Amino acid sequence: RLAIAWLCVATATAFADGEPEVDVDAALVRVRAHFAKGEIEAAKQLLLATYASTKRADLLFALGQAEYNLGHYKQAIDYYEQFLASNPETDATSLAHQAIGSARARLDAPVVEPRPPPPPSPRQPPQRARDWDGFNTALVIGGGAVAIAGGGLFAAGFRAGDDRSGSLTDYDRRLERSLLAQRAGVAIAAGGVVLVGIGLLRWSVRRIEITPSPPTSSAGTIGLAARGRW
């Protein structure tokens, strides 16, 4: 980052004219390491402690950089101006003026309030529709077949009862079998009608919910998700 480059150039320039101090050199190495890791507050605290014990003017520029990276632009300008007041070398002076200009630009920039998140879209109630499934089909077809068979048995029994040929005993037997066949036919046909009715009742009562599903990137359309409901 430009801030780290300014720190390195300024401190290196300041050290060029004086006797090297091991403690300050070691502190600056740690400061650069904190900057590289993004640990700006730790770098600032280390710089403050080092400056308090050494009063080296070159550390003022580094403190300005720390405050700048923390977003404390006014405090950064104060440190830069203190650094300039110490009459640093020409290159360091140019960097300090650039840093002051950048910090003032940040101070004068309008504060942009973050936009509130959009309100969640209202959830549409799921659509419900009747559902005709395979079981309904089996009930209706099976019930219809049973009802037809019962009707056929009833018709056969009815025709047998009209046969008056033979003796009276034979006729009585045919009539008895005819009544039994008719009753059985009626019962069977009624059972078939009940099966058909159950199928139709299931269709009229059973519902499925149709809810929009998230759009897919490939199709770009909204699909439908269905769930069975009673």
Over the stretch 14-35, which tens digit does the pLDDT of each residue have?
444 444 444 788 888 888 998 8
User: What was the pLDDT predicted at 226?
Assistant: 47
- One domain for residues 101 and 151: no
User: What was the pLDDT predicted at 58?
Assistant: 84
- Considering the domain boundaries, does residue 210 fall inside one? yes
Full-prediction pTM beyond 0.85? no
pLDDT, the chain, mean: 76
The CA–CA distances, whole Å, from 193 to 140, 188, 218 equal 9, 9, 49
Of 108, 143, 165, at which residue does a domain stop?
108
- Considering the domain boundaries, does residue 121 fall inside one? no
Which tokens go with 87?
Answer: 């009459």
Of 79, 108, 137, at which residue does a domain stop?
108
Q: What are phi and psi of 212, to 5 degrees?
A: -65, 140
- One domain for residues 102 and 159: no
- One domain for residues 85 and 169: no
Of 41, 73, 108, at which residue does a domain stop?
108
Average pLDDT over residues 75-81: 92
- One domain for residues 104 and 132: no
Residue 163: pLDDT over 90: no
Query: Could you give the number of structural domains in the chain?
Result: 2
**CATH number for position 6:** 1.25.40.10
User: What was the pLDDT predicted at 209?
Assistant: 67
C-alpha to C-alpha distance for 142 and 205, rounded to whole angstroms:
20
- Specify the pairing of strand 224-229 against strand 127-130: unpaired
Domain range for 18: 2-108
C-alpha to C-alpha distance for 225 and 210, rounded to whole angstroms:
6
Cβ atoms < 10 Å from Cβ of 32: 16
User: What was the pLDDT predicted at 165?
Assistant: 66
Residue 81: pLDDT over 80: yes
